[in-house]
Structure 1
Amino acid sequence: MVEKTPRTNSMHGRFITFEGGEGSGKSTQIKLLAKRLEGANLRTLVTREPGGSPGAEIVRHLLLAGVGRLIGGAEAEALLFAAARDDHVRTLIQPALESGVWVLCDRFFDSTRVYQGRLGEVSPAMLNALQDVTIGAMKPDLTVILDVPVEIGLARAAVRRGSEAPDRFESESIDFHRRLRDAYRQIAAAEPERCVVIDANAEPHVVAARIWLTVQERLLGWPQAKVEVKPEAKSKAESKAKTKSKAKAKSA
């Protein structure tokens, strides 16, 4: 057996995961955050789960087609997710982090805990064992949980897929998706140092601004959002301030 490199988050890059129900806008917000980070001269990699690496993408097709559910239910799905995640972390995420790249991932282990654990009733013992094998101590530096009302999220997902049939998870009942939303909130409440819940029932640019503020405060070490002022806007503001100052001096 080939010995694996220990997986920890004591690496040079930063690891940010995005979680949330169907139609919460994860893909859109990841792209917007990647653009912000690249604008700050930070190398960025966008990936997803299930999938992300060649081997994991093969497993992704099986999962979304419902193969795991057919051959053994939620436990089989959890095993397939673990196989995909192991390949994803080993061949893509860990090497990127070690080289100083910021990795943004659409779903990660929290999705397994919610979909297969809380909703599929896979035992915590099994999920903990799978986590130890696939990611070890390499937890995300930040997990952004995009929260949106279930009906709105499913409507967005329907628009996104167009004429395509809903996948294995989109086709679940409304009650399933409500419990899913509650499960994510519970994870955030249990791990506030890692997770942040963002209200995603807003325009994309508003949601993006909220996420960027969180990244600034938690990962970049900026105590508060910095508002960039264009030179011409700055000079106008300074001129206005000087005019007011002169007016006050004359009245005095």
Structure 2
Amino acid sequence: MKRGKFIVVEGMEGAGKSSAITVIEAQLKQHNIDFINTREPGGTPLAEALRDMVKSAEHEERLTQETELLLMYASRSQLLENRILPALDQGLWVIGDRHDLSSRAYQGGGRAFDDQVIQAIADVTLKGFTPDLTIYLDIDPELGLSRAQARGALDRIEQEKFDFFTRVHEKYLELVRADSRIKTVDARQEMPAVHQDIRSIIGRYLEENT
């Protein structure tokens, strides 16, 4: 059985990840490719409990930055071992709403953790595993946050100060420039244009890998 592929959609708040995933799902269905969806943090019962710890804005005690970083990777480890890898081994494709790039941007850029510290944790938890394709939806932090606020209540991370998101965005751009496997889509465009760019990326990838 041919191993499945792991496609990840990345981007800041308000970039349109959910609708991008819907576009990818439709293309895979057109090609009769079976798939599952995941999200990070989360994706398994235990990983979802860890997600609640990270995202909740109502903790009785302050969640330290170090705890946040470790919870992100603990959740990711659970998801990888219990859902992603088994699905890929069964020949299923996996569409991920965020993966390791998010921690590199949010905890590495936003929280200013050293790249080597994050890499050491990733080495232990991910063991060299990487996505087959990452689509990064690039959006200005101000525009993205305004879209996120329009959706309703913000979680603990979404309530950070604006300069936090500026650092996250800068780190995303730095990481994307350094990895040719990451394809960038301008999420400031009107939605039909964004979706067409995603279809083009997935279409090329399917031509090369099916």
**TM-score of the superposition, structure 1-length normalised?**
0.77
The answer for the alignment partner of 2:75 in structure 1 is 84
- Among residues 159, 180, 183, which one is paired with 2:168 in the alignment? 180
Structure 1 stretches of at least 4 aligned residues deviating more than 3 Å after TM superposition? none
For 1:188 and 1:113, how far apart are their aligned partners in 2? 11
Does the 8 A contact of 2:109 with 2:170 survive in 1? no
The answer for the alignment partner of 2:42 in structure 1 is 51
Deviations 1:110-129 (A, max 9, x none): 11111111221223232112
For 1:34 and 1:116, how far apart are their aligned partners in 2? 29
When structure 1 is superposed on structure 2, of 148-157 and 89-98 the one drifting more is 148-157
Does the 8 A contact of 1:23 with 1:155 survive in 2? yes
Asked whether 1:141 is paired with 2:128, we answer no
Secondary structure, counterpart of 2:122 in structure 1: helix
Secondary structure, counterpart of 1:50 in structure 2: coil
Unaligned runs of 5+ in 2: none
Deviations 1:37-89 (A, max 9, x none): 1111011111100001111000000000156x924x22211111111111100
**What residue identity is the alignment partner of 1:175?**
D
The answer for the alignment partner of 2:147 in structure 1 is 156
When structure 1 is superposed on structure 2, of 46-55 and 200-209 the one drifting more is 200-209
Work out which structure has the larger RCO, using CA pairs closer than 8 Å and 6 or more positions apart in sequence: 2
Secondary structure, counterpart of 1:220 in structure 2: helix
Asked whether 1:167 is paired with 2:164, we answer no
The answer for the alignment partner of 2:200 in structure 1 is 213
**What residue identity is the alignment partner of 1:216?**
G
For 2:140 and 2:105, how far apart are their aligned partners in 1? 17
- Give the drift of 1:219: 4.4
**Counterparts in 2 of 1:57-136, with a 5 A limit?**
57-65=48-56, 70-71=62-63, 73-136=64-127
Secondary structure, counterpart of 1:82 in structure 2: helix
Asked whether 1:191 is paired with 2:179, we answer yes
**What residue identity is the alignment partner of 1:82?**
Y
Q: 1:155 to 1:28 in 2, by over 3 A?
A: same
Secondary structure, counterpart of 1:27 in structure 2: helix
- Give the drift of 1:202: 2.1
For 1:106 and 1:220, how far apart are their aligned partners in 2? 23
For 1:205 and 1:53, how far apart are their aligned partners in 2? 32
Q: Report the aligned-residue RMSD.
A: 1.7
Deviations 1:180-209 (A, max 9, x none): 1111111110112x1111001123232122
- Indicate the percent of aligned positions where both proteins have the same amino acid: 36
Deviations 1:202-237 (A, max 9, x none): 232321221121122234328xxxxxxxxxxxxxxx
Aligned length: 206
Secondary structure, counterpart of 1:70 in structure 2: coil
- Give the drift of 1:146: 0.4
For 2:205 and 2:97, how far apart are their aligned partners in 1? 19
For 2:8 and 2:37, how far apart are their aligned partners in 1? 10
Q: 1:168 to 1:116 in 2, by over 3 A?
A: same
